[in-house]
Structure 1
Amino acid sequence: MTHLFERTSDVSGPSPVIKASAPGRVEILGNHTDYNGGTVVGAAIDLRLRVAVRGRDDDRIRMASTSTPSRFETTLSTYRDDDGPDWTKYTLGVADELMMYAGGGTGTGFDLLVDSDVPSGAGVSSSAALELATGLALNALWDLNVDLNALIRLAHRAENRYVGVPCGLLDQAVCGAGRQDALVVVDASEDRIDTVPFPGETRLVLCSSHVRRSLAHSMYETRYSECRDAHSAVSRLVPGLGALADLHPFDTAVYGPALDPVLRRRADHVVAEEDRVTRFLDLLRSVDGSTGSLAAAGELMTASHRSSQTLFENSCPELDFLVDRFIEQPGVLGCRLTGAGWGGAVVAWIDGRFDESSLAAVTEAYAEQFDAQADARFVRPSDGARLD
């Protein structure tokens, strides 16, 4: 971790270095429900992305990452037109939103250095972690006094408007509002972010496939459009329908035959997923906290993945293989893809029966099947974005 701050010679200017960090996240349940007006459950994890920022006495913006030797330079007046590496769009998008918040500009450039333990392209929101850490640091640098809740939504707008990904609020909310030993619940219908305790006798395993994905150039936008089309079609049959996730499973059974087959599969997934989230949270909040309740909650996670396989069609053979191998192991309560899908990672929810040998059995089977390595690690719910 310290090598980030040993490189402060790369961050030059008259003001002190400001340090901030944000975690990656896993999505526990609620796949593609956030932008459909539903509820998502996630967890910030104990892998963090860090930034060091220093103000300048001119309008230059210089950005670098410890993961690459290159450096990108632009200015406050040209950053929207200058073409930099993809990761710089997330930092510049947040800077752009903050400058609009400040009334059109701050008058000071900055140098920014990034160091990360959060794997990119693995479906654990390295982009949202970068947005939140950058936002906190620039907010402090420019003395804007934007609170964390507002910063979460500002980062979300940056990804929608500047980066061009029509994502929901899940990633920024979980990376921003995460808490140690708690799950984050994002209710898009009421724009509310809550937490629920994470059962202390359980853990999570994050297992990344060797298939990377990029939201801006993936099937994400296609699914987003299909869900909008499904909502529009059902709205003609159900007047006053607010969002696709507002439907009851009974509604899709009744009105589904009137939909295009592809749109029906998308609607069936979203509506059933919202129902799974409701039941999952009821089980976690149950008074007894029994093993039976946890097992039932875990089964909902695995059912979510099966829905992604067959209805939303956002999984891939590598993720399906990992889920199949995990749920064969004793101590796995549930397993599913995490994030948008089409590659990336799965998250397994485990109890004390699952150990290192269990994990080795999964990764060795993956290596034999695909002649590639799956990167697996134990993780726990962690605190969200903060100034360091």
Structure 2
Amino acid sequence: MSNIIEFLKSQEAKEKLMSLYNLDEQAVDTQVKRYQKLADAFAEVYPVDNASFFSSSGRIEIIGNHTDHQLGRIVAASIDMDTIAIVTPNADGKIHVKSLEYDEFTIDVNDLAVKEDDSRTVKLIKGILERFVQNGRKIGGFTTFMTTTVLSAAGVSSSASFEMLICAILNDLYNNNEISTLECAKAGQWAENNKWDKKSGLLDQLACATGGMITIDFANYENPEVVKLDSKVIQDKYDFFITPTGEDHSALDGEYTAITVEMKAISQFFGKEYLKDVSMDDIMANLPALREKAGDRAVLRAIHFITETERVRKLAAEVKEHDYTNFEKAVTDSGLSSWRFLQNCATPDPKHQGIALFLAMNEIYFQNHKGVCRVHGGGFAGSILSVIPKEESPAFRAFLKDVLKNEYYEIHMRDAGSVKVF
């Protein structure tokens, strides 16, 4: 492929994008124009000979809220919000990155020390490169222009999408695509943990990189079990809506930390490191002592973890058998558990309860319409996820515009994670 711009005009390119984004021929034109815009911007500065396109999806969490850090289970899915990049390799040992939204920067692959003025993006790339070297993988230079539709601060994993894009590029250009999805995910997590000081788990990276709807069992954290689920029926039946509340996470670090601390207090009562080794029978046999030792909210959060992990196990088993009858109920029950037991749908500030309010308005709407909703991601501030049968989507869009009067984002599952497109 000597000229990517000419290729983007072909029917073959259109069909590849239709397959990637699960779109028909008419709807895919928006994506074709998006790729063409990026290629044209790149061509103004660099030659496009031997250029390639890569895409890395965002993700939604379907059920399994706040279970990964206690080695539980989740169901998540990649979505059509993605980060795309046009890339050419170079031999100068430098990585040149330009986003359509931000200024260009350069990283020397022979100098991975983090500098005081390095941006978060530079730190993440350096961290991934360093981890690749530690793992005995090859690294090298490339030039890329990027753009993204993955929302930030909405629980759809904009950072992980970017990290897995970088891994996919390095894997293709310098490692013959021999690096596993799990190793790439761990490289992204390592970069966040060690270069950005964000103590994230593996959920985001695995969901972005793997593609499709997946279930993850974190019981063996070093080698979590990732199973792809057949999501075609769900993709064909439902539209998914992310509704941001517009509230700020910055003052809520203590609320997120408290979830882990309180869950740990329950597991430590039983001499266990993680809640995955605590049962409901354990809770019921020791309730007064647990209340005294850890407090009522900690017990409620442990109850959420135990019931949520079982809920994931049950839904994953059903979907494996192509049984989708309980999908809406599983999402509803998971969301209610987060609201009632995990208690991550409200903030300490009574004037700012956006997630709880939007969930309540959705539930009132669903008294006369089909659909379900839940808090999305970490909670407290951020967004909610609504799962709407496709025939109900026009009415739901009107509800969002006329009642909530809030911005929203309609998203769809896609089967590919972090991939070379063409």
TM, length-normalised to structure 2:
0.77
**What residue in structure 2 maps to residue 154 of structure 1?**
187
Instruction: Determine whether 1:35 maps to 2:69.
Output: yes
Instruction: Determine whether 1:324 maps to 2:360.
Output: yes
Distance, in Å, in 1 between the alignment partners of 2:395 and 2:388 is 13
Could you tell me how far 1:177 is from its partner in structure 2? Answer: 1.1
**What residue in structure 1 maps to residue 418 of structure 2?**
385
Specify which of 250, 258, 263 is matched with residue 281 of structure 2. Answer: 250
Q: Which amino acid aligns with 1:375?
A: Y
Could you tell me how far 1:242 is from its partner in structure 2? Answer: 4.9
Distance, in Å, in 2 between the alignment partners of 1:146 and 1:213 is 37
TM, length-normalised to structure 1:
0.83
**What residue in structure 1 maps to residue 237 of structure 2?**
202
- Decide whether the 8 Å contact of 2:345 with 2:375 is kept in 1: no
Distance, in Å, in 1 between the alignment partners of 2:205 and 2:251 is 20
Unpaired segments ≥5 residues, structure 2: 1-33
Q: Secondary structure at the match of 1:91?
A: helix
After superposition, where does 1:1-388 map in structure 2 within 5 Å? 1=34, 2-9=36-43, 16-68=50-102, 70-76=103-109, 77=111, 79-102=113-136, 106=139, 108-143=140-175, 145-179=178-212, 183-190=213-220, 191-198=224-231, 199-200=233-234, 202-211=237-246, 219=252, 223-224=256-257, 226-228=259-261, 230-231=263-264, 233-239=265-271, 241-253=272-284, 254-255=286-287, 256-261=290-295, 262-284=297-319, 289-290=324-325, 293-307=326-340, 310=343, 317-327=353-363, 328-329=365-366, 330-367=368-405, 373-388=406-421
Could you tell me how far 1:360 is from its partner in structure 2? Answer: 1.6
- Percent sequence identity over matched residues? 20
Distance, in Å, in 2 between the alignment partners of 1:246 and 1:187 is 14
Q: Which amino acid aligns with 1:38?
A: G
Unpaired segments ≥5 residues, structure 1: 368-372
Could you tell me how far 1:323 is from its partner in structure 2? Answer: 1.9
- Decide whether the 8 Å contact of 2:346 with 2:381 is kept in 1: no
User: 1:284–1:25: structure 2 CA closer, same or farther, 3 Å change rule?
Assistant: same
- Decide whether the 8 Å contact of 1:11 with 1:113 is kept in 2: no
Could you tell me how far 1:126 is from its partner in structure 2? Answer: 1.2
Could you tell me how far 1:49 is from its partner in structure 2? Answer: 0.8
User: Relative to structure 2, which stretch is displaced further, 254-263 or 22-31?
Assistant: 254-263
Could you tell me how far 1:16 is from its partner in structure 2? Answer: 3.9
The alignment covers a number of residue pairs equal to: 371
Distance, in Å, in 2 between the alignment partners of 1:226 and 1:326 is 26
- Decide whether the 8 Å contact of 1:207 with 1:347 is kept in 2: yes
- Decide whether the 8 Å contact of 2:65 with 2:377 is kept in 1: yes
User: 1:222–1:16: structure 2 CA closer, same or farther, 3 Å change rule?
Assistant: farther
Could you tell me how far 1:43 is from its partner in structure 2? Answer: 0.8
Q: Secondary structure at the match of 1:67?
A: coil
Could you tell me how far 1:176 is from its partner in structure 2? Answer: 1.1
Q: Secondary structure at the match of 1:195?
A: strand
Distance, in Å, in 1 between the alignment partners of 2:268 and 2:151 is 43
User: 1:56–1:82: structure 2 CA closer, same or farther, 3 Å change rule?
Assistant: farther
- Decide whether the 8 Å contact of 1:23 with 1:382 is kept in 2: no
Distance, in Å, in 2 between the alignment partners of 1:161 and 1:350 is 39
Could you tell me how far 1:147 is from its partner in structure 2? Answer: 2.6
Distance, in Å, in 1 between the alignment partners of 2:229 and 2:94 is 43
